[in-house]
Amino acid sequence: MAVDFKDFARRMDGALTHLEEEFGAVRAGRANPKVLDRITVEYYGSETPLNGVATISTPDARTLVIQPWDTKLLKDIQKAIQTSELGINPQNDGRVIRLVFPQLTEDRRKDLVKQVKKYAEEAKVAMRNIRRDGMDYVKKLKKNSEITEDDQKKAEKDLQDLLDKMIKKVDAATAAKEKELMSL
């Protein structure tokens, strides 16, 4: 009997997706609207993502323009950006908010690479924990005599192969993000 690992594979895919979202929030000297994905503003009593109350555009490689649908939100948006970990001071002209991304220094690039590596390691740890859960599941099946010892060995090998494949994807995504950060 083959053991079904769809749930564990789905959870590992979720960890990879989360990692890619984390990478999207790391700014790389270019204006990328994804850096604003985590920022929310209070709108009619509920926390609303910034892209739900404004149009975000990139007129050039280093500028983001945020144009709220309701100009009363300008100050709230400005405050939300200032209190976020973005590290950019928003410029409010009364109609739109401009975010000008400075050119990254070599030291800042290295700090961002360290941050990217930390995110990657967290994703790998999460995937290893998912593998451990899978191994526990397989041992429980064996203990309950639902699978044979050969099935258990094959299932454990399949789980390890799944983890190895996902770790390669994490490493590839990390290398791509590092390259993006270190390129001028």
- CATH number for the domain harbouring residue 82: 3.30.1360.40
Same domain, 71 and 121: no
- The predicted structure's pLDDT at residue 122: 94
Same domain, 174 and 145: yes
Residue pair 72/42 in contact (Cβ under 8 Å)? The answer is: no
Q: Which two tokens stand for residue 66?
A: 């945020």
Within a 13 Å sphere around the CA of 18, how many CA atoms are in the beta-carbon half? 15
What is the per-residue pLDDT across 126-173, written as a single tens digit (0 to 9) for each? 999 999 999 999 999 989 888 888 988 999 999 999 999 999 999 999
> Does residue 24 carry a pLDDT above 80?
no
Among 29, 70, 32, 78, smallest CA distance to 53 is for 70
Range of 66's domain? Answer: 30-100
Q: Which two tokens stand for residue 144?
A: 């309950």
Q: Mean pLDDT, the chain, as a whole number?
A: 86
Same domain, 171 and 149: yes
DSSP-assigned letters across all residues of 40-91: EEEETTEEEEGGGTEEEEEEETTEEEEEESSGGGHHHHHHHHHHSTT----E
User: Does residue 1 lie within any of the structural domains?
Assistant: no
> Does residue 34 carry a pLDDT above 90?
no
- Residue count of the chain: 184
Integer angstrom CA distances of residue 71 from 41, 51, 57, 67: 13, 14, 16, 8
Identify the residue whose tokens are 């941050």.
115
What percent of the chain stands above pLDDT 70?
96
- CATH number for the domain harbouring residue 154: 1.10.132.20
Separation of alpha carbons 16 and 120, rounded Å: 9
Burial class from Cβ neighbours inside 10 Å (0-12, 13-18, 19+) for residue 43 reads buried
For residues 19-30, give the mean pLDDT: 76
Residue pair 97/78 in contact (Cβ under 8 Å)? The answer is: yes
Same domain, 14 and 39: no
- The predicted structure's pLDDT at residue 92: 86
- The predicted structure's pLDDT at residue 1: 57
Same domain, 109 and 20: yes
- The predicted structure's pLDDT at residue 101: 79
pTM assigned to the model: 0.70
Phi and psi at 99, nearest 5°, equal -120, 115
